A and B are shown apart, each in its own frame.
Chain A
Amino acid sequence: MTTSLTPPRRERSLQDQRARAAFWFLAPMLVMLFCVAAWPLFRSIYFSFTDTTLSNLYGGKWIGFDNYLSRRELSSGRVLWRGTLVDPAWWNAFWNTVRFSVVSVTIETILGMLVALVLNAEFKGRGFVRAAILVPWAIPTIVSAKMWGWMLNDQFGIINDILLNLHIIDQKVAWAANINTAMFAVLIVDVWKTTPFMALLCLAGLQMIPRDIYEAAKIDGVHPVRVFFKITLPLVRPALMVAVIFRILDALRIFDLIYVLTPNSDATKTMSIIARQNLIEFDKFAYGSAQSTLLFLIIAIFVMLYIWIGRVDLSGESGK
């Protein structure tokens, strides 16, 4: 303000009052987020540079990057590399995670879009169908893992039974246990469970497109497929980009489904799985911290690239 007079107490402008209130409104949330997110993250990263163990959380010594990569020269002159970055189990988990994320999100996006297109049409019983596709979404992941585990069971599973009757396979397959099909099993369950989410987001995007655009295209005699690629897709693209990144981030950190459906299968172990194994089960607390830190870094870099390349406006600020 321009005046140099000291304002009397009640002279506090509306903007000051609101800014002050905003500060106090945000403070508790920020303190809480600091306690449960920032501080633990910082400690996890710190642990990754120490040799802390589960049984002695405060006894760790600083060992620098040894959990990530260390070089030791033996007296014989041989050089030995150790650490997560040369651990084949880590790289196996890394590629499993990437493969899982890319395949599952691609399929979910395509199927989700198809389901959304069906639901966007007007037909009798649309409300019922929309309710039906909410069912997989509502079922807890652990429960769906168990349900599908049972359906995919090698001896008594209904999937084998159906496929045998249809002569698609000629002998029973141990979907979850077999190293060749385990990833396939995980993908099926994940796609089943998360396609509804994608479909609902796509549907919301579709419903924001004004109907008269379609009518105009119809009058102009544009082929429906062309309409989809030239009109629908570009218009839902922003919504789709946001939905896809949410799903990718979710896929990159997958843990529960795999832990329950295909425990201990090297074909499906993801970064989250082996990080937790090391942290809690194998008593390599610091080593596991290094792996979880790497996963965090990978996701952070990916998000930045995605926002930077895709120019995705996640905050919704520009629209206001």
Chain B
Amino acid sequence: MANIQLKAVRKAYGAVEVIKGIDLDIKKGEFMVFVGPSGCGKSTLLRLISGLESITSGDMLFDSERVNNVLPSQRGIAMVFQSYALYPHMNVYDNMAFGMKLAKSSKEEMDVRVRKAAQLLQIDHLLDRLPKQLSGGQRQRVAIGRAIVRDPRVFLFDEPLSNLDAALRVQTRLEIAKLHHDMSDVTMIYVTHDQVEAMTLADRICVLRDGKVEQVGTPSELYETPNSLFVAGFIGSPKMNFLTGDHAAKYNCSTLGIRSEHITIVPEGQGAWSGKVVHAEDLGSDNYLFVEVGSDEPLIVRRAGKLDIKLGTQVALAPQDGKLHRFGADGKPIA
């Protein structure tokens, strides 16, 4: 329900600057994901938006209203924490109702909202339980439920899936996506270090690096037109292939990038590169070839279907048209 603007936001702890001037517009109802390696400042940025940390300089606007010094509880936000942070001594109902109790809401309204949120998340049968009697996935739902009950303008997620096992992670990811669909006017901001989560959930992704915004865009924008070597390498799995040295010089750049699915095997003599298959992975639906072409790392080639090439085979490879990414010595793309 709110659009959020960050203007030249900085955060320093003593002499150490963690957020080094960030300008960012997050649109109303958007699902924005902050992603980046650990220590890039993504969690700090989320905490600045939540108000749990105060910004050192710059401005933070919610719907054009300056909120630099507004208490977290008055910003209209709700937050889902990494460790769920449920109150261990309260049952699920009280956990979800605590905020409304403090806001002195009427008992009836509170009851309606708690039960509605519980129904939405299918935890209405757990309302009397204590957090310690719940499974990890159930705790996660309660944490989300507690956030829903606050009826927030902005929903903040701080790596909410990192404590779940792989299967549960996929399932919960799906539910968060559904939640976003159901609450389409609520702005959601989600922090993760996992680029798969970022790609699958986000309307737009903000890649952070060392306290600065590296690139903001839709998942496909970031995937197809990364505006730096860093983003190109960070987004996408497997990682984009990078070729340097002579390979890159041929294309007038210092680094040449090509995604694994944009390389095709061509008849001997016609390809741009050739080499031996040194390793292969068969995933059933796809297979990956690792081809040694004389660069730092083998080129990874993604092909559909079953693996049908033996290790040690010599293959010739060619990039698909227009799928090459050329980067200069500064890491920026060359148009």
A and B in direct contact, judged by CB atoms within 8 A: yes
> Across the interface, do B68 and A14 meet the contact criterion of CB distance under 8 Å?
no
Residues of B close to A17: CB separation below 8 A: 71
Considering the complex, which residues of chain A in the window 11-56 have a beta carbon less than 8 Å from any beta carbon of chain B? Answer: 11-17
Q: Would you give the shortest CB distance from B48 to chain A, in whole angstroms? A: 11
Q: Is B233 an interface residue (CB 8 A)?
A: no
What is the 8 Å Cβ interface bit string for chain B, positions 11-53, against chain A (1 contact, 0 not)? 0000000000000000000000000000000000000000110
For the side of the interface on B, what is the size category? 10 to 19
> Across the interface, do B70 and A10 meet the contact criterion of CB distance under 8 Å?
yes
For the side of the interface on A, what is the size category? 10 to 19
- Given A1-B68, A1-B69: A15 in contact with B74 (beta carbons within 8 A): no
> Across the interface, do A11 and B58 meet the contact criterion of CB distance under 8 Å?
no
Q: Is A2 an interface residue (CB 8 A)?
A: yes
Q: CB < 8 Å: which of A2, A12, A14, A15 contacts B58?
A: A2
Q: CB < 8 Å: which of A2, A14, A16 contacts B57?
A: A2
CA distance A1 to B59 in the complex (A): 10
What is the 8 Å Cβ interface bit string for chain B, positions 61-72, against chain A (1 contact, 0 not)? 000001011111
- Given A1-B69, A3-B68, A7-B69: A14 in contact with B74 (beta carbons within 8 A): no
CA distance A185 to B52 in the complex (A): 60
Q: Is B54 an interface residue (CB 8 A)?
A: yes
Pair count A-B, CB < 8 A = 30
Chain B at the A interface: mostly helix, strand, loop or mixed?
loop
CA distance A2 to B54 in the complex (A): 12
Q: CB < 8 Å: which of B57, B68, B74 contacts A10?
A: B74
> Across the interface, do B54 and A13 meet the contact criterion of CB distance under 8 Å?
yes
Q: CB < 8 Å: which of B52, B66, B69, B72 contacts A12?
A: B69
CA distance A16 to B68 in the complex (A): 12
What is the 8 Å Cβ interface bit string for chain A, positions 182-213, against chain B (1 contact, 0 not)? 00000000000000000000000000000000
CA distance A3 to B59 in the complex (A): 9
CA distance A7 to B74 in the complex (A): 15
- Given A2-B57, A2-B58: A13 in contact with B68 (beta carbons within 8 A): yes
Please name the residue on chain A nearest to B52 by beta carbon.
Answer: A14
Considering the complex, which residues of chain B in the window 270-293 have a beta carbon less than 8 Å from any beta carbon of chain A? Answer: none
CA distance A17 to B74 in the complex (A): 13
Residues of A close to B54: CB separation below 8 A: 1, 13-15
> Across the interface, do B69 and A13 meet the contact criterion of CB distance under 8 Å?
yes
CA distance A12 to B57 in the complex (A): 16
> Across the interface, do B57 and A11 meet the contact criterion of CB distance under 8 Å?
no
Q: Would you give the shortest CB distance from A3 to chain B, in whole angstroms? A: 7
Residues of B close to A2: CB separation below 8 A: 57-58
Q: Would you give the shortest CB distance from B286 to chain A, in whole angstroms? A: 41
Q: Would you give the shortest CB distance from B20 to chain A, in whole angstroms? A: 16
CA distance A3 to B74 in the complex (A): 20
Q: Would you give the shortest CB distance from B262 to chain A, in whole angstroms? A: 47
Residues of A close to B70: CB separation below 8 A: 10-11, 13
Chain B residues with a Cβ under 8 A of chain A: 51-52, 54, 57-58, 66, 68-72, 74
21 contacts between A and B (CB under 8 A): A1-B54, A1-B69, A2-B57, A2-B58, A3-B66, A3-B68, A10-B70, A10-B74, A11-B68, A11-B69, A12-B71, A13-B51, A13-B54, A13-B69, A13-B70, A13-B71, A14-B52, A14-B71, A14-B72, A16-B69, A17-B71
The 4 closest A-B pairs by CB, nearest first: A13-B69, A11-B69, A13-B54, A2-B57
